[in-house]
């Protein structure tokens, strides 16, 4: 009888220890119960942001410039930036080029080349607006020429743009953001986080705005 009791309590203590260990691990690596996706890294000065750092709502997007859905959501995001009250929303873009999109990396590099001259968001808009013009091209030189045309329309220094387009710095920024996204479990684009929590992509602009407004309350 005593042996059975000892065995029972031994198993009980072991199970309890495993539960405590599991809770501690979960607290160190917070994830969404429904998705298994973790929390994005804190926003820093290195991020591409639009809106005040102390905004009530922070919207982080992990995007791919060749992704058709990302292009559709880009128009919603731009409208949110315009429609939301001043101080309500900070928008953050992080690169997540998908392997199946052959031109996603060069497009991301073009945005970084523009960012080095203070024009990330302007290039962001042009790249998405012209997605159908470059996404299916196979000639890298033609794609670069097209992006150089975008840079020219923004008044960028063409020599610096071409140099930065394929620089190690631009590539490292993109790869670091991609690696961070992979580390928290992102598998698709666009992936949006509102105040650190992954959301289901809203089907309409109205639904998206309602979600942001609710988070701001």
Please report the pLDDT score of residue 33 as a whole number.
Answer: 41
Cα atoms in the 13 Å half-sphere on the side-chain side of 189: 26
Three-state helix/strand/coil letters over 35-56: CCCECCCCCCCCCEEECCCCCC
Tokens 């101080």 identify what position? Answer: 87
Cα atoms in the 13 Å half-sphere on the side-chain side of 206: 0
C-alpha 157: how far from chain center: 27
Please report the pLDDT score of residue 36 as a whole number.
Answer: 82
Structural domains of the chain in order of their starting residue, each with its CATH number: 48-216 (3.40.30.10)
Please report the pLDDT score of residue 184 as a whole number.
Answer: 97
Please report the pLDDT score of residue 12 as a whole number.
Answer: 41
Please report the pLDDT score of residue 30 as a whole number.
Answer: 36
Please report the pLDDT score of residue 86 as a whole number.
Answer: 77
Please report the pLDDT score of residue 2 as a whole number.
Answer: 53
Q: In this structure, are residues 65 and 131 in contact, taking their beta carbons and an 8 Å threshold?
A: yes
- Where residue 65 falls (left for φ over 0; alpha for ψ -120 to 50; beta otherwise) is alpha
Rounded distance between C-alpha atoms, residue 2 and residue 217, angstroms: 59
Please report the pLDDT score of residue 14 as a whole number.
Answer: 36
From first to last of the 217 residues of the chain, give the pLDDT tens digit.
Answer: 455 454 444 444 433 333 333 333 333 333 344 468 999 999 999 999 999 999 999 999 999 999 999 999 999 999 999 998 778 999 999 999 999 999 999 999 999 999 999 999 999 999 999 999 999 999 999 999 999 999 999 999 999 999 999 999 999 999 999 999 999 999 999 999 999 999 999 999 999 999 999 999 9
Please report the pLDDT score of residue 85 as a whole number.
Answer: 76
Please report the pLDDT score of residue 35 as a whole number.
Answer: 61
Please report the pLDDT score of residue 1 as a whole number.
Answer: 46
**pTM of the predicted protein model:** 0.83
């Amino acid at each position: 009888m005593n042996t059975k009791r000892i065995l029972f309590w031994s198993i009980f203590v072991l199970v309890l220890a495993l539960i405590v260990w599991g809770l501690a691990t979960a607290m160190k690596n917070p994830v969404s119960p429904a998705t298994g996706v973790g929390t994005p890294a804190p926003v820093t000065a290195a991020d591409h942001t639009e809106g005040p750092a102390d905004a009530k709502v922070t919207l982080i997007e992990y995007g791919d410039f060749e992704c058709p859905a990302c292009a559709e959501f880009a128009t919603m995001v731009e409208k949110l930036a315009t429609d939301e009250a001043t101080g309500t929303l900070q928008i953050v873009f992080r690169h997540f080029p998908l392997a199946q999109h052959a031109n996603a990396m060069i497009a991301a590099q073009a945005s970084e080349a523009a960012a080095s001259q203070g024009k990330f968001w302007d290039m962001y808009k042009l790249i998405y607006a012209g997605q159908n013009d470059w996404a299916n091209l196979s000639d890298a030189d033609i794609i670069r020429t097209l992006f150089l045309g975008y840079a020219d329309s923004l008044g960028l220094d063409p020599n610096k743009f071409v140099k930065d387009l394929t620089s190690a710095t631009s590539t490292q920024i993109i790869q670091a953001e991609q690696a961070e996204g992979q580390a928290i479990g992102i598998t698709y684009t666009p992936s949006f986080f509102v105040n650190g929590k992954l959301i289901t992509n809203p089907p309409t602009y109205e639904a998206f705005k309602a979600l942001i407004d609710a988070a701001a309350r």
